Amino acid sequence: MRIVSISLCIAYLITGCQQVSTNESSNPVSAFPDTESHPGFKDYELAQNYLDDADYDSARFYGFRAMVSAENSPDQLFQGNIQMLLANAHYFQSDYEEARTFADEALSIGNELQSDSLTAYALHRIGNIYRRQGYYQQATQYMFEAIKLAETLENPLLLGMAYEDLANVYDHDAEYGFAEEYYLKAKEIYEELNDVGNIAGVIGNLGAMIYETGDYEGALAMHKESLRMLLEANHKRYIANTYNNIAVTYREMGNYDSTLHYIQKTLEMDIEAGFKRGIAMDYEMMGTVNLLTGDYSEAKENLIKGVELAEQIGVISRQRSMYYRLFRADSSLGNYQQALSWLSKSYVLRDSIYSEEKGRAMNEMRERYETEKKEQEIEFLTQKSELEQTRNAAIGFSLLSIIGIISLVWARQRTAQKKEFEILEKDKIITEKELEASKTEAEYLKKELTNYALHIAQKNEFLTQIKKEMAEVRSKVSNQEALKHINHMGSKIYQNTSVNKEMEEFEAHVEQVCEGFFKRLDEKFPELTDQEKRLAALVRLNLSSKDIASIFSISPKSVDQGRYRLRKKLNMNGDRNLSIFLNRL
């Protein structure tokens, strides 16, 4: 479900997610002396109009022209406005890196000119960019800074939007009490301003929050009320989001026809607006519904469209979810090798997201520790200087002063050691979480491989049974035409139970999932053959001798003999469990 807020673009309030208000009461350009005489102002005005109409390509084109024309203008505040306009245009097309570049430049200009207004808008936009990219801690920091400035500026519309965007972050973190508090604060401000579009936006966001609690009927009622208000006000961007939210709610209610109806409306509006992130999410939603209805080919087609677009704009969280859904689609279609490839991509992105978050946390702890250490050094040097002055002034108290310094140093060292210990403890916790995540992933991959192995075993056993029954039928049939068809079917069954074809595909899966396990086997037991290593991998998955025999198309007795030889090479004596031993390597 998309959580969104309505807000001014750089004429000049910044949007929370996708909607732009037509309210122009806070347009800082109007405060410029001789605004229309600025080089590039006409292009700037055109760009703003195109942005309001959701024509982002045209907004970017005229925005760049305005930036070039105003490059040598002495009015830096006007240049900052242009930077914010370009930040908005790129933001609405999901080009977050470029949007961040322009917003950072606007923030730099705002700080240099000590323009609280420009600074507040830039902080607000950067916070939204971080939220869109999934960096919620950074998003919260920037949003709180924007709120502080908005309160000092007495700018109610900006303050309302800042409240609403902060509520979105709390909503994402399931902090529904805080989320509702800030949503209602924003709604109260919008009602005082009689801003119908933003009121509808808050109602929609409250509907999204109610949806998370499982009250789908209540959520649907709020989304439809929001849609009614927005259609009357013709707020195109937010109408698309509301269609999407209605579609998501219908999906949870099991009404898939209505889901596809509303998501198709969303897709049409997102394509018209050039909103790439929205288009990717629309295809993902359609693919998800196709999976639920069993239309796996259609699901795969829609999900591939969505994931290609998500890769293009760098939205990692959406890529990961679509990779997993593609795994489900190809598994259901019987494309097991391709399915495993999708699953592998999903887990690679999962590791990437976790490592990036861990790295950011480590950097923050390191910076905090180094700052505290420098402050301690400065404080120590200051106190040492004061001590020397005291000693020069009163030699008689030197001994007392030395004792004081020693006591102070000892106390500071204890404090520093305590802080260092706390940092080490935090490192330990992070490492333990990382190990736990790796363990969970390994267990999941083993489970997927086990299911795949059992599928092959059951398939081969089923086909073997059919072959036996066909042999009995063949002995009772004398009609040559019927025998010809029976033999043709037997040939097809033989092809499907072909050892080379089945094992080639299965062994590729085993090599991919058990790569680390095979390396450990080679290090400890280099005399094992490839066949014995593959047997070890299947025993490690707790497969029975019967299942392993079906996979390799051999007898269970041959598997038992292989187990015996494997135990000897692993130097296992007595009644030790072979599967447990292999899982502990």
What DSSP assignment string belongs to 261-292? Answer: HHHHHHHHHHHHHT-HHHHHHHHHHHHHHHHH
Q: Which of 240, 274, 308 is the last residue of a domain?
A: 274
Average pLDDT over residues 404-420: 67
The pLDDT score that the predictor gives to residue 397 is: 58
DSSP symbol at 311 = H
The pLDDT score that the predictor gives to residue 238 is: 77
Q: Please check whether residue 577 lies inside any domain of the structure.
A: yes
Residue with tokens 């961007």: 237
**pLDDT exceeds 70 at position 15:** no
**pLDDT exceeds 50 at position 306:** yes
Tell whether 417 and 560 lie within a shared domain: no
The pLDDT score that the predictor gives to residue 340 is: 86
Q: What's the first-to-final CA gap in the chain, in angstroms?
A: 44
Average pLDDT over residues 544-549: 85
3-state secondary structure of 528: coil
Tell whether 494 and 429 lie within a shared domain: no
**pLDDT exceeds 80 at position 448:** no
Tell whether 25 and 137 lie within a shared domain: yes
pLDDT band with cut points at 50, 70 and 90 for residue 24: very low
3-state secondary structure of 386: helix
Among 5-9, 459-463, 545-549, which is the least confidently predicted range? 5-9
The domain total for the chain is 3
Identify the CA nearest to 22 among candidates 42, 8, 32, 2: 8
Q: Please check whether residue 108 lies inside any domain of the structure.
A: yes
Q: Please check whether residue 342 lies inside any domain of the structure.
A: no
The CA angle 324-330-335, to the nearest 5 degrees, is 135
The CA angle 147-187-49, to the nearest 5 degrees, is 75
| 185, 188, 190, 196: CA torsion to nearest 10 | 120
In whole angstroms, give the CA distance from residue 49 to residue 55: 9
CA 64, 66, 72, 78 torsion-angle sign: negative
In whole angstroms, give the CA distance from residue 522 to residue 157: 66
In whole angstroms, give the CA distance from residue 466 to residue 184: 67
Q: Please check whether residue 73 lies inside any domain of the structure.
A: yes
Q: Which of 274, 302, 334 is the last residue of a domain?
A: 274
Average pLDDT over residues 104-122: 92
Tell whether 153 and 40 lie within a shared domain: yes
Q: Please check whether residue 303 lies inside any domain of the structure.
A: no
Among 205-209, 367-371, 409-413, which is the least confidently predicted range? 367-371
Phi, psi of 119 (to 5 degrees): -60, -45
Helical (H) or strand (E) element with 334:
none
In whole angstroms, give the CA distance from residue 557 to residue 563: 10
Tell whether 415 and 496 lie within a shared domain: no
The pLDDT score that the predictor gives to residue 316 is: 76
- Who wins on pLDDT, 427 or 287? 287
Average pLDDT over residues 258-282: 90
* Contacting residues for 315 by C-beta, under 8 A, at least 6 apart: 94, 133, 277, 280
* pLDDT more than 70, % of the chain: 72
In 10 A of CB 429, how many CB atoms?
10
**pLDDT exceeds 90 at position 415:** no
The pLDDT score that the predictor gives to residue 30 is: 36
CA 4, 345, 449, 283 torsion-angle sign: positive
The pLDDT score that the predictor gives to residue 171 is: 81
DSSP assignments along 1-69, one per residue: -----EE--TTSPPPSSSEE----TT-GGGGSTTGGGSTTHHHHHHHHHHHHTT-HHHHHHHHHHHHHH
The pLDDT score that the predictor gives to residue 17 is: 32
Q: Please check whether residue 292 lies inside any domain of the structure.
A: no
- Who wins on pLDDT, 136 or 382? 136
**pLDDT exceeds 50 at position 473:** yes
- Residue 240 · residue 18 · CB < 8 Å: yes
Q: What is the CATH number of the domain that holds 565?
A: 1.10.10.10
pTM over 0.85: no
DSSP symbol at 211 = H
pLDDT band with cut points at 50, 70 and 90 for residue 13: very low
Identify the CA nearest to 138 among candidates 128, 149, 147, 148: 128
* Contacting residues for 305 by C-beta, under 8 A, at least 6 apart: 283
Tell whether 544 and 401 lie within a shared domain: no
Q: Please check whether residue 118 lies inside any domain of the structure.
A: yes
Average pLDDT over residues 401-417: 67
pLDDT band with cut points at 50, 70 and 90 for residue 14: very low
Q: Mean pLDDT of all residues in the chain?
A: 78
Q: How would you write 191-203 as a 3-class SS string?
A: HHHCCHHHHHHHH
Q: Please check whether residue 86 lies inside any domain of the structure.
A: yes
Tell whether 145 and 200 lie within a shared domain: yes
Identify the CA nearest to 131 among candidates 235, 263, 269, 277: 277
Tell whether 93 and 231 lie within a shared domain: yes
Tell whether 436 and 549 lie within a shared domain: no
- Per-residue pLDDT tens for 50-103? 888 778 889 999 999 999 988 888 888 999 999 999 999 999 888 889 999 999
Identify the CA nearest to 516 among candidates 545, 540, 485: 540
The pLDDT score that the predictor gives to residue 382 is: 61
The pLDDT score that the predictor gives to residue 365 is: 44
pLDDT band with cut points at 50, 70 and 90 for residue 436: low
Among 77-81, 114-118, 500-504, 553-557, which is the least confidently predicted range? 500-504
In 10 A of CB 415, how many CB atoms?
12
The pLDDT score that the predictor gives to residue 107 is: 94
Tell whether 508 and 389 lie within a shared domain: no
- Residue 183 · residue 202 · CB < 8 Å: yes
Average pLDDT over residues 551-556: 80
Tell whether 66 and 196 lie within a shared domain: yes
| Domain extent for 264 | 6-274
In 10 A of CB 186, how many CB atoms?
26
Average pLDDT over residues 514-543: 87
- Per-residue pLDDT tens for 242-267? 999 999 999 989 999 999 999 999 99
**pLDDT exceeds 70 at position 32:** no
* Contacting residues for 278 by C-beta, under 8 A, at least 6 apart: 2, 18, 94, 240, 241, 244, 266, 270
- Per-residue pLDDT tens for 481-522? 776 777 777 766 666 655 455 567 777 777 777 888 888 889
pLDDT band with cut points at 50, 70 and 90 for residue 111: very high
Tell whether 432 and 503 lie within a shared domain: no
Q: Which of 234, 258, 274 is the last residue of a domain?
A: 274
DSSP assignments along 474-505, one per residue: HHH---HHHHHHHHHHHHHHHHHT-HHHHHHH
